Amino acid sequence: MPEFCKIERDGHVTTITIQRPEVMNAIHPPASRELSEAFDAFVADPDAWVAILTGAGDKAFSAGNDLKYQAAGNKIDGPPSGFGGITARFDNPKPVIAAVNGLALGGGFEMVLACDIAIASENASFGLPEPRVGLAALAGGMHRLPRQIGTKPAMGMLLTGRRVAAREAQALGIVNEVVAPGELMAAARRWADQICECSPVSVRTTKRVALDGLAHASLHEAMEARYPAIVELVKSEDFIEGPRAFAEKRKPKWTGR
């Protein structure tokens, strides 16, 4: 059993909880490796369609890198999949929802940025304070934040290290929804269930193509490019089941294959 995270399955939804509340769910390399293994299992399981990532307790999603662990001279050797097993994971076609309870700072915020959808508690706050301690947001924050919210708003956060409260984060486009603390996991599950109503193959294809298309300089180039995921969709059982269910006026029975 993992020591630093908890993994739960309910139907097609996997919930991964960071389990280090005594240090505000700060991440050290052993925790990163466990989280990486949890995401490996999620990606490999054909019956796992959506993941929810959250932190134990109500004070922090994750306060980021465990600086005390690092300052003690311990070896910093995280997994190839990046901080928390997710920030350098570019081969996951399945949706991941961040359920942000409390602080999401430094690497914790970078984990949120690496998710596809983010739901925040009203007491959540976000920031990349690395410059304040002589560091930099090396787990993708310096690149993801400008791409997700625009250069000027991103620089306003990156260059000052300031924290952004949940409502401002929603206005900036960092999170999709803000809810009362007691409603966080229910809201994240509501989003997950809406995704599960769709074809898993269509969802995987949509995520892959949307992200891969960003690598092209122009809209025209992105639309003209060829994407292997579309070939997978056209050959899938879901591609046949969807129109058939519509014609027969019934709910589709997705297989995800």
Active-site position among 22, 34, 130, 168 = 130
Res. 34: pLDDT tops 80 = yes
Would you state the structure tokens that stand for residue 135, as one six-digit string? 């560091």
| SS3 of residue 138 by DSSP | coil
Q: What does the pLDDT look like over 233-251, one tens digit per residue?
A: 999 999 999 999 999 999 9
Sheet holding 103-105, edge to edge: 60-62, 103-105, 125-127, 164-165
Tokens of 111: 């984990």
φ, ψ of residue 213 in degrees (nearest 5): -65, -25
> Which pLDDT tens digit goes with each residue over 42-86?
999 999 999 999 999 999 999 999 988 887 878 778 899 999 999
Q: What is the mean pLDDT of residues 97-117?
A: 98
Average pLDDT for the chain: 96
Chain-centre distance for alpha carbon 240:
30
Query: Where are the chain's structural domains?
Result: 5-196, 200-247
Cβ neighbours around 27 below 10 Å, total: 30
Phi, psi of 165 (to 5 degrees): -75, 165
Indicate if 200-247 has the same CATH topology as 5-196. no
- At 234 the pLDDT is 96
From the candidates 110, 177, 232, 241, which is the catalytic residue?
Answer: 110
Alpha carbons 100 and 137: distance in angstroms, whole number: 19
DSSP secondary structure letter of residue 136 = -
- From the number of C-beta atoms within 10 Å of its C-beta (0-12, 13-18, 19+), residue 235 rates as exposed
CATH T-level fold of 200-247: Lyase 2-enoyl-coa Hydratase; Chain  A, domain 2 (1.10.12)
Question: In this predicted structure, what is the pLDDT of residue 250?
Answer: 96
pTM above 0.85, yes or no: yes
Q: Flag whether pLDDT at 13 surpasses 80.
A: yes
Cβ(75)–Cβ(39) below 8 Å = no
8 catalytically annotated: no
**Span 129-162, pLDDT tens digits:** 999 988 899 999 999 999 999 999 999 999 999 9
The CATH architecture to which 5-196 belongs is: Alpha-Beta Complex (3.90)
pLDDT at 1 over 90: no
Q: Is 224 a catalytic residue?
A: no
Distance set, CA 93 to CA 13, 45, 72, 90 (Å): 15, 12, 37, 8
